[in-house]
Structure 1
Amino acid sequence: MTEGTYHHGNLRAALLERAEAVLAESGVDGLSLRALARDLGVSHAAPSRHFRDRQALLDALAVSGFTRLNELLRTAAQAPGSVSARLAGLGRAYVDFAVTHAALLNLMFTAKHCDDSTPELRELGHRSLDTTAELIAQGQREGSVRAGDPARLAQVAFSTLHGLATLALGSLLDDTPLPEATELAIDVLLTGLGPGR
């Protein structure tokens, strides 16, 4: 790409898009503001107008990732259908995001649990769990979900799906295709979340 391709208003977005691609290809260690500037054909000082340093870029990537994930999960939680159907959709959305954006998700969780994470990151990082817990609580009110702390039930559900995604990324599902494993995991989770337990 050549210099002058970007208007001042969208260099930040271009930097984040390129940074996410580099993250997926080379990991966190492969990211530098200078290299991103070179890749985008802008001066090496141009990124500093948007990110004071590399850590600010990483934080912005994590914020962007959580924002996208939260929107996917919110959309699934608000879709038409029963609570069980919406929980299943939410589970599929999470596994798909986790597998498609593995390096970004790892960065997101690392940034969220860092000692000096920003309040924005912590809040965004909890929102997906809150969305799930709210849907579980709705199911409890309707009698379609077992009693129990909705946040804890949501945490266990996320742990199961995150573990499945991790196994898939490590090619540890043997001959089971990921879509089949995802549906089985969701079925087991929904059975466990069902009433009368």
Structure 2
Amino acid sequence: MTKSQRDTFHHGNLKAAALDAAYDLVAGTGHETLSLRQVAGAVGVAHRSIYNHFEDREALLDAVAMEGFTRLAALLRKATTAADYTRQYVRFALANPSIYSLMSSRRHGTMKHNPPLQAATHGVITEAMRVFCRPDQTSAERRRTVMKVYMILYGGISLYAAGILDLPNEQALVAELMAMTTSA
């Protein structure tokens, strides 16, 4: 008995199903080895079907990164203080290391060619500006404040994940980063 195409794919929206599958695959094994064939296999379609919705592997990875930024921004909208923001950001990064790695791999300078990814990224930046910046700051000062916060967060998370920081646990990392970002 052979399976017909209808037996292998029952989703109403292949693009959404492929994105969900790619997100889960990246979360599980990282973005470095993700292939369109893996994603197609996960949703039960021929790999060429994925090309109807994503130009190539990089376009699919951009979509997964966009989803990561969207989810992170949603968490950060709940932050009312710099400490809340830092805690939520660190928890997301440590709970989703492969997704965070993919998000960090997307070059901001080239995002102008991908407006949806750029908008999702700016959602996270907007929340940082809301929490860390003062209304009287100039545009340049606001930019520097946010860059400083992200450098501290990214650096701290990267060093902790690599085992370089001598901190006993995630809570200690959050405390150190909160101290640094609240004085940013």
Aligned length: 175
SS state at 1:45 partner: helix
SS state at 1:90 partner: helix
Equivalences for 1:48-63 in 2 at 5 Å? 48-63=51-66
Of 140, 163, 167, which aligns to 2:159?
Answer: 167
Counterpart of 2:12 in structure 1 is 8
- Structure 2 distance, partners of 1:53, 1:181, is 37
- Structure 1 distance, partners of 2:179, 2:50, is 46
Aligned residues of 1:161 and 1:185 also touching (Cα < 8 A): yes
> For the aligned residues, what is the CA RMSD?
2.6
Counterpart of 1:156 in structure 2 is 148
* CA separation of 1:115 and 1:157: change in aligned 2, threshold 3 A: closer
Aligned residues of 2:128 and 2:146 also touching (Cα < 8 A): yes
Aligned-residue offset at 1:156: 1.1
Structure 2, unpaired ranges of 5+: 1-6
Counterpart of 1:82 in structure 2 is none
* CA separation of 1:29 and 1:133: change in aligned 2, threshold 3 A: closer
Aligned-residue offset at 1:175: 4.7
Counterpart of 1:132 in structure 2 is 128
Give the residue type in structure 2 aligned to 1:99. L
State percent identity of aligned pairs. 30
Equivalences for 1:24-103 in 2 at 5 Å? 24-77=27-80, 86-103=81-98
Aligned residues of 2:133 and 2:145 also touching (Cα < 8 A): no
SS state at 2:45 partner: coil
Give the residue type in structure 2 aligned to 1:3. T
- Structure 1 distance, partners of 2:42, 2:11, is 16
- CA displacement 1:92-146 (0-9 Å, x = unmatched): 11111112222222322332436364133223323322322233335x66xxx9x
Structure 1 runs (4+) greater than 6 angstroms displaced = none
Structure 1, unpaired ranges of 5+: 78-85
Aligned residues of 2:82 and 2:181 also touching (Cα < 8 A): no
- Structure 2 distance, partners of 1:18, 1:27, is 13
Of 115, 121, 124, which aligns to 2:117?
Answer: 121
- Structure 2 distance, partners of 1:104, 1:188, is 24
TM-score (norm 2): 0.79
TM-score (norm 1): 0.75
Aligned residues of 2:26 and 2:34 also touching (Cα < 8 A): yes
Aligned residues of 1:34 and 1:44 also touching (Cα < 8 A): yes
Give the residue type in structure 1 aligned to 2:119. E
- Structure 2 distance, partners of 1:42, 1:167, is 40
Counterpart of 1:105 in structure 2 is 100
